[in-house]
Homo-oligomer: A and B are copies of this chain.
Amino acid sequence: MHFTPRFTPHFTSARRLDDGVLDRDFTLGEIPGVLWTPASATPSAPAPLILVGHPGGLHKRLPRLVARARHYAARYGFAVAAIDAPGCGDRPRDTAGDQARADFRRAIQAGELTDEIVHAFIVPLVDQAVPEWQATLEALLSLPEIGGPVGYDGMLPIGIRLAATEPRIAAAALFGQTFVPDALREEARKVGIPLRFLMQWDDEGMERQPVLDLFDAFGTKEKTLHANMGGHTGAPWFEVEEGARFFARHLK
């Protein structure tokens, strides 16, 4: 049987980094992305793929995302891809999405966040982003140096939907947060794949209990919670190593 992807990545740049990783920009239709592949990835030894998502509104070349992606590739032999979400990074602004994001941020500042406001921001973003990630993984799996299965390491709401619905996703690492509408919490119950769930115990931007409740909601029997100190952006570097080993256990 010949596999014909519906989408093919179009590479627009390529450079070999000093750690041996090949760093390539690509576009997939209107989606801009980056692919990092280790020197070890060849057609006879294809590398498993990890999709790395960025926090909402930020860029696919966010420095701490790039550091994680390169480490996964250089040290652990994974192929790693990032794309810009709709309305983010190098993509054209999205007026409706910008409005929903602005409403969401205003409600957080004012302490007036409701499930409706979270829903209005998060659900359209997930509805758009998940098919784009699916197109991306399908396109990248068509490359001879990349093989399945696939991991997702990124934004929690997108990860819930991908993990619950996309059979090629075999393991997910998600960063716990409270901004998950009730509808997506229900989807979390359907997740059956291995899950690594990271949270900051002393996160100044969110309450602890709803994050723990969300971890509890995931239906999978193979889930691990890691909680650390250091505030919202203070997750320690060793969690990147432990994340890589989590994917190595499940994708290799």
Pick the residue among B225, B241, B249 that contacts A226 (CB under 8 A): B225
Count of chain A residues with a beta carbon within 8 Å of a chain B beta carbon:
20
Question: Is the Cβ of B245 less than 8 Å from the Cβ of A249?
Answer: no
A229 interface residue (CB < 8 Å to B): yes
Enumerate chain A interface residues (CB-CB to B < 8 A).
201, 212, 215-216, 221-230, 236, 238, 241-242, 245, 249
Chain A interface secondary structure, helix, strand, loop or mixed?
A: mixed
Offer 25 A-B interface pairs, CB within 8 angstroms, sorted by A.
A201-B215, A201-B216, A201-B223, A201-B225, A212-B212, A215-B227, A221-B229, A221-B230, A222-B229, A223-B228, A223-B229, A224-B226, A224-B227, A224-B228, A224-B236, A225-B225, A225-B226, A225-B227, A226-B226, A227-B227, A238-B245, A238-B249, A241-B245, A242-B242, A242-B245
A108 to B212, CA, bound (A): 27
A241 to B245, CA, bound (A): 10
